[in-house]
Chains A and B, each alone.
Chain A
Amino acid sequence: MNAIPAQHPRLVVIGNGMAGMRTVEEILARAPGKFQITVFGAEPHPNYNRIMLSPVLAGEKTFDDIVINSREWYAENGIELIAGEKVVSVDRESRLVMGEFGTTRPYDRLLIATGSDPFIIPVPGRDLPGVVTFRDMADVDAMLDACGVGGSAVVIGGGLLGLEAANGLAVNGMKTTVLHLMPTLMERQLDTVAGGMLKADLEARGLTVMCGADTAEILGTERVTGVRLKDGQEIAADLVVMAVGIRPNSTLGRAIGLDCKRGILVDDTMRTSDPFIYSVGECVEHRGVCYGLVAPLWDMARVAADHLTGVADSLYIPAVSGTRLKVTGIEMFSAGDFIGGEGAEVVEFRDPSRGLYRRLVLREERVAGVVLYGEAEDAGWYFTLLKDAQELGTLRHTAIFGQSVALAASGAPAKDPKAALAALPDSAEICGCNGVCKGKILTAIAEKGLTTLDDVRAHTKASASCGSCTPQVEGLISLALGDGYQAAGEKPMCKCTTHGHDFVRKEIVSQGIKTMPGVMNRLGWKTADGCHHCRPALNYYLLCAWPGEYQDDAQSRFVNERNHANIQKDGTYSVIPRMWGGVTNAAELRAIADVVDKYDIPTVKVTGGQRIDLLGVQREKLPEVWADLNAAGMVSGHAYAKGLRTVKTCVGSEWCRFGTQDSTGMGIKLERMTWGSWHPHKVKLAVSGCPRNCAEATIKDFGVVAVDSGWELHIAGNGGIHLRGTDFLCKVTTEEEVLEYCGAFLQLYREEARYLDRTAPWVERVGLDYVKARIVDDAEGRRTLHERFLYSQKFMQIDPWAERAPGAEAAQPFTSLQPAE
């Protein structure tokens, strides 16, 4: 025996990943100082949340965001971290661990947590440069590097990992194709209906998905150039990602003679065949099962820690776990036996127009499996029914409609999220990503005096990953602190919520929430259907976040936007047709005159926005008035919209003796590009042909002033309650540049301002320098903002008046109910 006797027993951990470090955390929680701990990690990083690599790839998080324990944490806890050195052998006789660079450490107890390896299909070309896997940060860096060059990518494997990789690559601008061997995507988590919906959703985002695609060969000589399928088809690719599955990494365990099958064999206490060696995570095989999700690891870590410290005699009991796909904007959840079969009943709910699908598999009146697609707010509720194997009883016929409907119908008291949280046992898991239970959160709040969500995230990791448990975590904080708790420190949007605008916007995007009930459920709204303050704001945030997908909610629009006209003090409306750049002609004027005569319109006025206002129209008459104006080629002027109003122009170089550029033409082009766009508040543009500025461009949200050598761009002016002159943004030379800068600026405002902030207060809040950095200095960022603006416009530039033509379904709200005879 050549081991040096130590004051404390030595624990060496091999594998600086999620299961290994979680076990270390559990050990510290039970018996701090019991072991002298050394951790070897093959990766050169402190430990990080592997499941969040997908959001890092998609650009939604940075590496720093996903670090679980920083290097300081290791130091503070007296843990020696040897990162970047792989362990190559273990001398079990003398209990000594050896690293690839010669570092040795003796141990009294050894913990092996080497995770798993991506499976590489054995086809020719698999070793070519440009073929990568998706397992660690180095893989993500390799993919992001490839995205920097651009081109096309092929992802082999249409399971969770493959689809998250494909989405990330597509978001980064790669033309991406997914090759999947099976007939439907994610067949291990989804039935064929949900798998089909997923395929359609991914295709709608521009991905190409080929099912039944069997890879024969990876093509290329120097580096990868494509993939050939068994049926002979070839797909060009500059990058190939293999994501067909994982294999337990039991290499080291096998090499040192531990009993292994697919994984390192462990008993119910997580001990291997060597009594001094424990093993946890994806590298183990427990009762014939290997795991590939984090939830089981938390249990393994607890059990291993109990036995290593000797504080308790627990046993590892496998439990079901659920799966979610972390592709922003696609909501799905699956758990348990979702296919069914003999002795099972299947209940399904489908609403194709809203893209919703739910499937429950019942056995003996209990939930045995669930698939949710399109909306997954109720995942937690279904998962609890599944885990508790609770007999459904009165919920049997309504469970498929979701928690609120089912509980209401069963006569149970309406869902009170706070009471439900209070009733949970301390052991109830709140955060699935990080395995944090209720008791731990409450203890941390009490002991450490935590008061904000960020504090709790920092101290417990709860809600620090995918964020879908944020409402429960906030609920616990407010349970603990009472009304003293204010979410995220920001002023609440309204009385229905503790959250502020910025927080809500961020969660809508990061959690991919696509419906208003979804926002209210997930973020813990206190009212069933919000109020007249929050609903219009949420409607706008959803519309802005999910162009083409979110269904505008007319009932959450203020009267003017719902009726597409401005209500007047006597309940009549005013109608303002668009007059592009303030230019009209005889035919339009004649049509307007005819409408005035035909409908007996009492007042015709020229507005301050260079167009004509028809005041005093009865609501029932609106569709007819619009139809007549439409017939003459005129569309809504959106004089009522939190959106693009007018583009004022002056005559410019066409006629004016001082004009330097065609300001009228420029204004018309701007209006053609921007009409129909919805914004946090109204937006007004103007173009003047010279610095005399007859169009008053320097009090507009976006003002353009022509000079001999080009165009000066001005932003954030306001002629309203608080007069504010614009800030000078920059000067450009071409009309195309004016359009691009304008689109980019408006999109930045659309995406980042709070509802009811006009550009002036918004720019004052974020600072002119910030806007310049985003719009002027960052050419690439400007281009993508502009592209997003144009993309959204594809869905916005539909004349709301034409949609409400007399007789059309959308015209119904304008008519009165007719009593039956």
Chain B
Amino acid sequence: MIDIGTLSDIPRQGARVVKTAQGDIAVFRTLDDTVFALEDRCPHKGGPLSQGIIHGKGVACPLHSWVIDLASGEAQGPDHGCAKRFAVELRDGRLWLALSAAQEAA
């Protein structure tokens, strides 16, 4: 896991991007300060999920408004598709991101 900074680096109901060899990873922070990480690519047409509006535990993609569940990476409602998940955790005040996708790791 890598140290990517502190919780306060990410705005509440917002996201920041981490550039990695695997591509961009979006790290989200919800209203209640839960943190999630997903590949920054919408399963629809690749929209940057980090730029969407975050509400509850979901994000609305900025390109065509699919809503992606932050915990599972799955598109909600009638849409189908899944964004890759990454493990992220808050330890000793720092955020740690796993660089291998969760599905693969699990």
Contacts and interface: CB of A to CB of B under 8 A. Distances in A.
Interface string A273-285: 0000000000000
A532 B60 contact: yes
Contacts of B67: 532
A531 B5 contact: no
A122 to B, nearest CB: 57
A559 B31 contact: no
B96 to A, nearest CB: 10
B32 A528 contact: yes
Nearest to B5: A817
Contact of A535 (B4, B14, B55): B55
Nearest to B27: A817
Given A528-B32, A532-B65, A569-B63, A559 B55 contact: no
Among A528, A555, A563, A812, residue most surrounded by chain B Cβ atoms (within 10 Å): A555
A555 B48 CA distance: 15
A820 interface: yes
Contact of B18 (A530, A567, A817): A817
A567 B62 contact: yes
Contacts of B63: 567, 569
A451 interface: no
A555 B53 contact: yes
Contacts of B52: 532, 559
A398 to B, nearest CB: 15
A518 to B, nearest CB: 15
A619 B63 CA distance: 15
Given A529-B55, A535-B53, A571-B48, A819 B31 contact: no
Nearest to A517: B31
A536 interface: yes
B14 to A, nearest CB: 5
A607 interface: no
B5 A569 contact: no
B102 to A, nearest CB: 18
A529 B56 contact: yes
Among B4, B10, B62, B94, residue most surrounded by chain A Cβ atoms (within 10 Å): B62
A530 B55 contact: yes
Given A531-B56, A562-B51, A819 B65 contact: no
Contact of B9 (A528, A563, A619, A817): A817
B25 to A, nearest CB: 9
Contacts of A528: 31-32, 56
A559 to B, nearest CB: 4
Nearest to B94: A820
A734 interface: no
Interface string B27-48: 1001110000000000001111
Given A555-B13, A820-B5, A527 B53 contact: no
Contacts of B30: 529
Interface in A805-821: 812-813, 816-820
Nearest to A534: B55
Nearest to A414: B32
A535 to B, nearest CB: 6
Contacts of A813: 11, 14, 16
A571 B52 CA distance: 12
Given A532-B65, A816-B17, A819-B18, A563 B51 contact: yes
B8 to A, nearest CB: 11
A411 B6 CA distance: 26
Contacts of B75: none
B2 A819 contact: yes
A813 B52 CA distance: 13
How big is the A interface, by class? 20 to 34
A820 B55 contact: no
A816 B56 contact: no
A158 B12 CA distance: 40
A570 B19 CA distance: 17
A555 B14 contact: yes
Interface string A336-367: 00000000000000000000000000000000
B19 A816 contact: yes
A752 B5 CA distance: 44
B54 interface: yes
Among A528, A529, A571, residue most surrounded by chain B Cβ atoms (within 10 Å): A571
B3 interface: yes
A54 interface: no
Given A531-B60, A817-B5, A571 B32 contact: no
Contacts of A756: none
A539 B45 CA distance: 28
Contact of B53 (A558, A571, A817): A558
Given A816-B18, A820-B3, A820-B4, A559 B45 contact: no
Interface in A549-607: 554-559, 562-563, 567, 569-571
A531 B9 CA distance: 23
A444 to B, nearest CB: 36
Contacts of A816: 16-19, 24
A813 B55 CA distance: 18
Nearest to B52: A559
A558 B61 CA distance: 10
Contacts of B47: 571
A76 B30 CA distance: 57
A532 B55 contact: yes
A531 B55 CA distance: 5
A464 B65 CA distance: 39
Contacts of A812: 9
A817 B16 contact: yes
B54 A559 contact: no
A555 to B, nearest CB: 4
Contacts of A818: 4-5
Contacts of B56: 527-529, 531
A812 to B, nearest CB: 8
Contacts of A536: 53
Interface string A491-503: 0000000000000
Nearest to B15: A813
16 contacts: A527-B55, A528-B31, A531-B53, A532-B52, A532-B53, A532-B65, A557-B53, A570-B46, A571-B47, A619-B51, A816-B19, A817-B10, A818-B5, A819-B18, A820-B2, A820-B5
Given A527-B55, A532-B60, 20 more contacts: A528-B31, A529-B13, A530-B55, A532-B52, A532-B65, A555-B11, A559-B52, A567-B51, A567-B63, A571-B46, A571-B51, A813-B16, A816-B24, A817-B4, A817-B5, A817-B27, A818-B4, A819-B18, A819-B20, A820-B5
